[in-house]
Amino acid sequence: MEPAKRIATFVIAPARGGLSVRLKELWEYRELLYFLIWRDVKVRYKQTLLGASWAIFQPLFTMGVFTLFFDRLAKIGSDGMPYPLFSLAALVPWTFFSTGLTQSTNSLVGSSNLIKKVYFPRGIIPAAAVLAGLVDLALALVMFFGALAFYGWWPGMALAILPAAVIWICIVAFGTGLWLSALNVEYRDVKFVAPFLVQIWMFVSPVIYPASRVTQALDKRGLPEWLYGLNPMASVVEAFRYSLLGTTPCPASFFVAGAVVTAVLLFSGIAYFKRMERTFADVV
């Protein structure tokens, strides 16, 4: 009589602690992350006429509209530089952020079949939705450097901080996406709120106007300039403008405030996502 074979049993249990992140586990599922990123990229432009060219045309056309209404008619100002470059330097990261945030908000619900069938770290899904936009961001940056050459403008050594600015905007989009994607599983109204939130967020960020107008207004009222930096996207947009155009940077406290809020947004998003993760398969 043959001895009974032992069957290995694996128990998958939720991590202890709201902020615990299984980095080893995330590394083990890196191929799934690559697959989901590639899937999102292909789905985004499937059966489109212009394909990935939309990553160039969208900020370019928006820049044209902003230049006509906010520069030629409203005379908002652009800190002494050509307004098309001024607005485009903000629209390139903003388009990445708005697309990533919208896609990550609906990512869990859109992957419901995958969540119900197999286990994997659920945070990979909103992360893939955000990181898939890096392809668009790269194309938009190539277009922007073409615009720089057209205007004969070059940022100089400030360009060295561009990778840090890209990482920063990815963290802001991912942290916010964790909150909204988890909330969207419980409350499907969130997918309707997200585009409205992005629209309002753009107007309170220095995309159309220079941040100096807000910081100067705060200074006249005796308020510290770093208060505006509590909007993390204000800090990110100014970091991109400084990197791409070599503009005069805001005070260091402005960027420190943005970095602190970004960290809070990320870790609170991780905590809430981990707390809700165990119920995704039942609710989604």
State pLDDT tens for residues 92-122.
Answer: 999 999 999 999 999 999 888 888 888 888 8
- pLDDT for 259 equals 96
Task: Label residue 18 by pLDDT band (50, 70, 90).
Answer: very low
Q: Given a cut of 60, is residue 238 above it in pLDDT?
A: yes
- pLDDT for 19 equals 46
What residues contact residue 40 under an 8 Å CB cut-off, 6+ apart? 103, 128, 129, 132
- Give tens-digit pLDDT for 157-185: 889 999 999 999 999 999 999 999 999 99
Segments making up each domain of the chain, as ranges: 23-283
- pLDDT for 4 equals 56
Q: Given a cut of 80, is residue 45 above it in pLDDT?
A: no
- pLDDT for 156 equals 81
- pLDDT for 54 equals 75
What residues contact residue 150 under an 8 Å CB cut-off, 6+ apart? none
Question: Which one-letter amino acid corresponds to residue 186?
Answer: E
Q: Which two tokens stand for residue 139?
A: 């194309």
Nearest to 130 by CA among 84, 181, 164, 201: 181
Residues 267-283: what's their mean pLDDT? 87
C-alpha–C-alpha distance, residues 122 and 98, integer Å: 21
pTM of the predicted model as reported, rounded to 2 decimal places? 0.88
- pLDDT for 254 equals 92
